[in-house]
Amino acid sequence: MILTSVDPIKLMAVLPQFRQALSGSPLAERVLMLVTTEIPEGDLMRLSTDRLHHRQAIDLCCSFGFGILDRDPKAWFTWDGQNVACGMEPSVIIHEVAHYQCAAPYRRTLPDFGLGAGPETGVGTAAANAVRVVTGADADVEEGLSSLLGILWEAELGQPAILAFLEQNWLEGGVDVRNVAHFVKMVATLEQLGLIDQSGHPTRGLRDVDDAPFFDRYFS
């Protein structure tokens, strides 16, 4: 996950430009509209810690069959293969649901989804890294898909999804053709995988393609 950020003062100028750059991709336009439905006042660089948002995030995890650990992931794993450590911001908890949906089936039961230790994982870092099976550009692709899907779940729950959208750096490249193409590609892939519908809303689908076929099919 990219953690640098866009200057929030420039946000309102960047958003219309980015929206215009997506004019040739109706689905990507709809996704951006969902993400930017709610733009809160105040600090746009700080993720929500609202208790209701946290409860919604846990409920979403439970609806996917996750076990819930009431602990800081620094004292365990973020995802241990069965349970999510919920001592995190709501946005980060929801991001784990998106990872679950985007992961190859055999990796859903691996610590941190076989991507290596996430930034929140603490004492489980060595164990998570030991079962890492996806690296490099392939890991970056899956991280991007999970990032955007998690953001769309936040929007679906009525949470300020724009905060994670900024934190995870979707606007840093502005209207650069490569940044726009990357966004469109991520949106299209989520739709092709059945993880979002034709209106851009997240579904409860799970990726059913293993790693080599997946990366060959969508990103070769």
Residue type, 187: V
For the cut 50, the answer to whether the pLDDT of residue 3 exceeds it is no
Which of residues 113 and 175 earns the better pLDDT score? 113
Contact criterion met (CB below 8 Å) for 172 and 2: yes
pLDDT exceeds cutoff 90 at 212: no
| Exposure class string for 37-72: b at 16+ Cβ within 10 A, else e | eeeeeeebeebbeeeebbebbbebbeeeebeebeee
Spatial CA neighbour of 209 closest among 136, 98, 139, 106: 106
At 220 the pLDDT is 66
- Average pLDDT score over the chain: 91
pLDDT-based confidence at 9, cuts 50/70/90? low
Residues above pLDDT 90, as percent of the chain = 78
Mean pLDDT of 171-197: 94
Decide which of 8 and 61 is more confident: 61
Q: What is the value of pTM for the model shown?
A: 0.93
Query: How many domains does the chain fold into?
Result: 1
C-alpha to C-alpha distance for 135 and 83, rounded to whole angstroms: 23
Q: Taking 90 as the threshold, does the pLDDT of residue 47 lie above it?
A: no
Question: Residue 13: how many CB atoms within 10 A of its CB?
Answer: 11
Domain region containing 198: 1-220
In angstroms, rounded to a whole number, what is the distance separating the alpha carbons of residues 28 and 186? 9
207, 102 contact by CB (below 8 A): yes
